[in-house]
Structure 1
C-alpha cells in the first residue's frame, strides 16, 4: 500500500467500510468481494456501490456463508458547482419505496449520460460498440469507468487514467455533465430512509473550503466523515479527524477499492479501521 493510504493508529484493523463491486464500477462480484475480505482477515466489509444497492442481496448471501459481517451501504453522487461530492449512506432501509424510486431515477440518468458520451465520442472519431460496453458493464449500470475500460480495450488509451485524461474529463471530447443533485438532497434522503449519511473522501474536494462545506452539511444532517482513505496523507487524516471530533461526527474509513487499474489501485483491505468504527 502506498504512503498515501497508510494510517498508523494502533488497534486491530478489521473492517474496510468502502468497497465497490460489479454492481457499479468495481471488478469483483459482490460475493467475491466478501470472500476476499475473509481472505484478508477482515471481519466486516462495507459494500458501497455508486448510486445502487443492487449488489447487497448477493453480498448478504456471501456474508452468511463466510461469517464476514456485511455493512450495507451505497455511495451517492452529488455535485457542488463543478465538483463531485460523494455521500456514503450506511444502513438505509432497503425496502423503502422512496429509496427505490430515487435509485431508479439515478440509474436512468446514468444510462442517458453514457449514451450522450458515446455519441460525443463517435462525433470525434472514437466509436465504442454497445455490445463491447455491455460485455464490460455486465448487469451493472454503465458509468465513465466502464467507458474508460472500453477505450483501453480498443487501443485509444493505455490505461483507464489515460482514458479519463484524454476523453472523459470536463473539457474533453467525450465528456457530458452528470445529472446533478445536491449534497443537501442526498443527506436528507439518507436520513429519511433511516440511513447514516457520511461524507466520503473529503481530501478529494479541492475547489472549496472543505471545513466550511462540512459544517454546512452538518446542518443538513450529516452524521459522519470518512477520515481514513487512500487519498489522504497523514496530515490530511489528522486534519479530518480533528474536524470530525469538533463536529461530533462519526469517523469511518475504507479502501474505496475498485480493483486494479483505478486511480489509487487499492485492493480490499488496503485501508482498514478498527471494528468499533462500524
Structure 2
C-alpha cells in the first residue's frame, strides 16, 4: 500500500512549458507548419511527459502480464484456461505476434506471471504470482482489495526496475483467458454502460455462448456492486491480476515520466 500511495501522490501533470517549446521547435523546421499531423502531436505529447524537447529511446521494452481468471468456469470463453500457460511460454519463445512487433520496433520483452493458474518454469519468466488465478467474479469478488493493490504494486515495481536498467519507452500486453470478460465488467462498472455496449463476442463463441457471456458479466456486476468512485474496489471485485498489473505499469510510467503505450480494449 505504501508504494501505491507514494506513486500516485508523486504523479504530476504534463510539462506545459516543454510542450509549448516542442511545438515552437516543430514549427521552425523546414516543412509546412503542422504538415506531419499526428506525428507532431505525439512528439509534443512526449515532450510533455519527459520535459525534454529532443527525445530518443535507445532501450524499449514490452511488459506482458499473464494471469488466469476464475470466471472462465462459467463458459465465457471458447478457449480453455490452459491456453494462458501455453501462450505465456510462447511469449518467452518469441513466437507470438507481440514478439514479432516488439522485435520490429527494437523492443525487448519481459513476461510476468502475476497469476497463471499452473506452475510455470521457463527461462526468462518473471514469477510475481499473486495467486493461481482469480476467483469467479460472478459468485463474488475476483480478489481481495489487498491482492489488487499488490498486483498494482507489482506493475509499478516492474517499471521502476526497468527504468533503472535504462529503458525509456514502454509497451504493455496481457495474457489471460477470460480477460475480455473482466475488462468488459470493469468498463461497465466505470461507465455505467450495458453489456450490449461493453461486451464483445470474443473469438469462437456461438450466439448462445455470447448471450451467456453477457449474462455472466451482468451477474458479476449485480453480485459485487463495484463502486465506480473507488477504482480499487472495481478492480478487486470484477478485474483481473493482469489488468491490475498493467494499471501499475501505467502508474509507474507516469511517476517516472516515461512514455508508455496503452493499446487495445483490455489495456485501456
TM-score for the superposition, normalised by structure 1: 0.28
Structure with the bigger percentage of strand: 1
Specify which structure has the higher proportion of helix. 2
TM-score by length of 2: 0.29
